[in-house]
Amino acid sequence: MKLIQGSGKTALYYEIIPVGHDWLILLTGGDAHIGCTAIGDDGRLSSYTPQSHKDDALAIPLAKKVSQTFHCVCTVVAGFHLDNITQEEIAEVVVNAEKGLRQIIETNMLAKIKKA
Half-sphere exposure of 89 (CA within 13 A, CB side): 15
Report the Cα–Cα distance between both ends of the chain, in Å, rounded: 10
Half-sphere exposure of 42 (CA within 13 A, CB side): 2
Options 1.10.10, 3.30.230, 3.40.50, 2.60.40; CATH of 2-87+98-115: 3.30.230
pLDDT tens-place values along the chain, 116 residues long: 899 999 999 999 999 999 999 999 999 999 999 999 999 998 799 999 999 999 999 999 999 999 999 999 999 999 999 999 999 999 999 999 999 999 998 887 777 666 55
Contacts of residue 6, defined as CB under 8 A and 6 or more positions apart, other chains included, come to: 12, 92, 93, 95, 96, 99
Q: Is the torsion defined by CA of 103, 58, 89, 83 positive or negative?
A: negative
The domain segmentation of the chain, as residue ranges, is 2-87+98-115
pTM of the model: 0.91
Residues 56 and 79: their CA atoms lie apart, in Å, by 9
CA distances (Å), origin 60, targets 83, 101, 115 = 23, 11, 26
Q: What are phi and psi of 16, to 5 degrees?
A: -110, 120
Half-sphere exposure of 66 (CA within 13 A, CB side): 30
